[in-house]
Structure 1
Amino acid sequence: MTLDVAQLCARLIRFDTTNRSGGDCAGEREAAEHVAQVLHDAGVAPTVLEPAPRRTNVLARVPGTDPALPAVLVQAHLDVVPADPAEWSFDPFAGEIRDGFVHGRGAVDMKDMVAMTLAVVDRWHTEGRRPRRDVVLAFVADEEDQGAHGAHWLVEHHAARFAGVRAAISESGGFSHDAGDVRLYPVGTAERGTSHLQLTATGRAGHGSRRNDRNAVTALVTSLARIAAHEHPVRLTPTVEAFLVGAGKALGVEVDLDDVDGTLARLGPAAKLAENTVRCSTTPTMLQAGYKVNVIPGTATAQVDVRTLPGTVDELVATVDSLLEPGVTREFLEHQPPVEAPVDSPWFTAMADALRAEDPAAVVVPYCLGGGTDAKAFSTLGIDCYGFSPLLLPAGYDYRAMAHGVDERVPVSGLEFGARVLDRFLSS
């Protein structure tokens, strides 16, 4: 008897793996130990690795029938972002299955993918099947922070575990997206680069009641207002261009690559899959200044979430510099470059074939993720990384509001569909 994918997902949700960043994490150990046990029961030998206490990663390799073929990696993270129970209509870590959904934090980000992968491996064991090529599994810690205890650590210290891997699949792709009468399935073939920018304003401290033309707070907020209001120019990557052309053809919409904003307007609901990835973005997110209301502080700081497209970093830095007030400096605290995998590849074709085998109405298009994933770590090993965590979603279900959102949940039928698609792809 094979394991039920919805039950697997619910059980994983009940492990509180909340990652509050900065090293403040409940720890992934219990969830990792559970995953390791499921793999062991399915005849797969897991390796458990901890770079720090309770920050646990699980690696395994399922041997294929043809070891000469390049291997494929399935990578998924075990940690989740915080969930405030006061904001939710149900316990975010109860892992309830009701009304056709699995409820709880991590349901779509991304314990669903962990559950679907485990269900496939268990089915192979039960039915005595093996994939054609080696399938490497990585269930990792710390994706919701910097990956220092997860993917980036594994790549730096255990790269040999990924020998022979040519392509990888993970979150944020392969889900259905209703666009009128067309059901699109965007497969992630790229993601924007992630940078954390810190601004520091230096001025003259003084009494709040006195005129001060070197107020650090004023200089900082003026700079931030300019940065937030600035519209960066359109820069089309091959992935986004292919999405616009493919979605436009499927929807019967005129695509004008010289007028991307107009094209997006004509795409209707499908535009949500591309509107955040045709430009770089600079979004202020954190502010810190002062210690008393009647004291003008000498310094003020802010952090800005920066997302970059290939070939745009120098241009973006110059733009930010031009928007800063005198006395405001900037530094990049972190920079992870953009990631792009080929669309014209047998991997993408196999994903599309697997989706269409389970949903003949599927229109499969490449797309660029607006955020970032552990693909940024694994791509440094020369692995082509794709967003492919397949789900067939019901009408009215807002998938993009689920990850990091309130009342996160995933449809049971979607999980069952996804497990079948993953089986087809990984077995092919």
Structure 2
Amino acid sequence: MHLKNLLGAASAAALLAQPLAAQTLRPDQAQFRELYQELVETNTTLSAGSCTEAAHKMGARLKAAGFSDSDITYFATPEHPKEGGVVAVLKGTDAKAKPMLLLAHIDVVEAKREDWTRDPFKLVEENGFFYARGSADDKSMAAIWTDSLIRFKHEGFRPKRTIKMALTCGEETTYAFNGAEWIAKNKPELIAAGFALNEGGGGRLDPQGNRQMLVTQIGEKATQNYRLETTNPGGHSSRPVPDNAIYELADALEKVRAYEFPVHFNDVNRAFFTNTSKMLGGETGAAMTALIANPNDAAADKIVSADPTFHSMLRTTCVATLLDGGHANNALPQRAGANVNCRIAPGETVETTQAALEKAIGDPKVKVTAVPPIRPLAVTPPLDPKIIGPSQTLAKKYFPGVPMTPVMSTGATDGIFLEAIGIPVYGVPGIFGESDGNGAHGLNERIRVHSLYEGRDYLYDLVKLYANAS
């Protein structure tokens, strides 16, 4: 029975606000906490850490639980010895059932101790939260997947379909080695699967910690950077001329800021806005309904797009993120450039996005170039009832009354590399996060203790459901 049914909403809220250390941990939860702490406290930043070390620590725990050497494969390259990962396999009993893959990245964004309230590489439990870099993104999921395999082995669980797990490095860095990309290209047989479960889904809490909604991520945007550049012979700053490279670049960026890509619906974001319109109601809900009926409804678009998240889910977006230009204080600029970061909606391409930017700028003197790496475009997986159904059924048990909807991510994950080799990737629900994004990529990253433990139980049961399904 759900906690709120036992104690009532007020009593439950009071209990959940306590540090979990003040509550009684089950033995399996205590073991998980130890694993989670070890992973979080292993520095895996690109500058000073080692994903390879973290992968071997998780592999050692798997081996201690009874996995054989043949079940565990470490991978790294000589050029990137600290950016390795691990693949583990729990063999299934039905050779005809396609395997499933549990994916998580173990690298984290950089974190400076002087900027944080607490040491970012020490797990601190305080006021009902775990604080640390990676406590949420994405070591929470990596720890849950590793812990689930250990629990399965201890229980003697024999799944119908083989369960694979891949912990990889490089998701958080654009120009570094990416483990998911490498293994998809070089060792695809290791991760071959009928589908994969990944980050990107979850749940949303309001500022008071009340559950608002659950989402399953189905599809994502593609990330692509473009360089805008203007050039000029330059000259002495005492003799200004109209065709100044910096001014021409500024004019181009003004046009990029003013340009709106058209509304682009697919099965996933159409389902999201259909469901969300019913949950929200009012003017915004009505505008969502109108926009679904007519994507060219400018008035409805204006209302819905007032929310930056909704705006990004409706279309491709491009935004200036870096600037450079000029070479001396007393010289006319010979060159000026800017990086424009685009998030491309499924169904659109790197080339069509570049063409749209060039058309919006309308100035042949502004050179627009796609900046490597040019990654594969996300392939939106189907709204498969064999995936959606079990997650919804289990959510009714764990999170009764909480609405659930598919969602397209406006960010990007390593799922694109798996989808490129034919593995559909789904961002699973289960772990509820704060409305501000848990501080991921920012200062004082955190995750609610209770949310982590209940998410662990939910995902453990969900993997079992998928593993034994036909």
Query: What TM-score do you get using the length of structure 1 for normalisation?
Result: 0.90
State how far apart, in whole Å, the 2-side matches of 1:386 and 1:328 are: 39
Give the secondary structure class of the aligned counterpart of 2:432: coil
> Which residue of 213, 219, 242 corresponds with 1:184?
213
* Post-superposition offset of 1:296: 2.1
Which residue of structure 1 lines up, in the alignment, with residue 10 of structure 2? none
- Aligned residue runs from structure 1 range 14-413, under 5 A: 14-19=41-46, 24=47, 26-44=49-67, 45-51=71-77, 52-146=80-174, 148-163=177-192, 165-178=193-206, 183-252=212-281, 253-254=285-286, 255-256=289-290, 257=292, 258=294, 259=297, 262=300, 265=303, 274-313=310-349, 315-322=352-359, 323-333=361-371, 334-388=374-428, 390-393=430-433, 397-413=434-450
Secondary structure in 2 matching 1:362? coil
The 2-side partners of 1:62 and 1:399 are apart by 36
User: Which deviates more from structure 2 when the two are superposed, residues 255-264 or residues 341-350?
Assistant: 255-264
For residues 267 and 182 of structure 1, the distance between their equivalents in structure 2, rounded to whole angstroms, comes to: 24
CA contact (8 A) 1:131 1:426 kept: no
SS in 2 for 1:331: strand
- Post-superposition Cα deviations, 1:177-223, rounded to whole Å, max 9, x if no partner, equal 45999731011001011111112211122122321223212211221
Letter in 2 for 1:247: T
Q: State the distance in 2 between where 1:166 and 1:291 align.
A: 54
Give unmatched runs, 5+ long, in structure 1: none
1:49 alignment partner, SS class: strand
Distance, in Å, in 2 between the alignment partners of 1:219 and 1:95 is 49
SS of residue paired to 2:407: strand
Q: Distance in 2 between matches of 1:31 and 1:92?
A: 16
Indicate the residue corresponding to 2:19 in structure 1.
Answer: none
State the shift of 1:298 in Å.
Answer: 1.3
State the one-letter code of the partner of 1:101.
Answer: F
Distance 2:304 2:256 in 1: 28
How many aligned positions are there? 418
Aligned residues with identical type, % of pairs: 27
CA deviation profile, 1:90-118 (whole Å, cap 9, x unmatched): 11111112222211111111000011112
RMSD of aligned Cα (Å): 2.5
- Tell me how far apart the structure 1 counterparts of residues 258 and 42 of structure 2 sit (CA, whole Å): 41
* C-alpha distance after superposition, 1:381-428 (max 9, x if no partner): 2111111152135xxx33525221211011121111111111111111
* CA distance in 2: counterparts of 1:279 and 1:10, whole angstroms: 39
> What's 2:38 paired with?
11
Q: Which amino acid aligns with 2:330?
A: N
Q: Distance in 1 between matches of 2:401 and 2:323?
A: 47
Q: What's the CA shift for 1:75?
A: 0.7
Q: 1:250 offset after TM fit, Å?
A: 3.9
Conserved in 1, the CA contact under 8 Å of 2:230 and 2:249?
yes
Distance 1:249 1:389, change over 3 A: closer
- Cα distance in 2, alignment partners of residues 420 and 399 from structure 1: 24
Q: Say if 1:399 and 1:142 are closer, same or farther in 2 by CA, change over 3 A.
A: same
TM-score w.r.t. the length of structure 2 is 0.83
Q: Matched residues in 2 for 1:25 and 1:231: separation? A: 40
CA distance in structure 2 between the aligned counterparts of 1:199 and 1:148, rounded to whole angstroms:
26
Q: 2:322–2:338: 8 Å Cα contact kept in structure 1?
A: yes
Counterpart residue identity of residue 378, structure 2: P
Distance 2:421 2:162 in 1: 17
- Displacement of 1:171 in angstroms is 1.0
Indicate the structure with greater helix content.
Answer: 2
Distance 2:37 2:278 in 1: 39
Counterpart amino acid of residue 443 in structure 2: V
Q: Does structure 1 retain, via aligned residues, the 8 Å contact 2:228–2:369?
A: yes
Moved more, 244-253 or 26-35: 244-253
**CA-CA distance at 1:172 after TM superposition:** 1.6
> Residue 137 of structure 1 aligns to a residue in which SS?
strand
User: What whole-Å deviation, never above 9, does each CA across 1:349-396 have from its counterpart, x for those lacking one?
Assistant: 222223222112232100010011001100012111111152135xxx
Shifted more, 102-111 versus 289-298: the winner is: 289-298
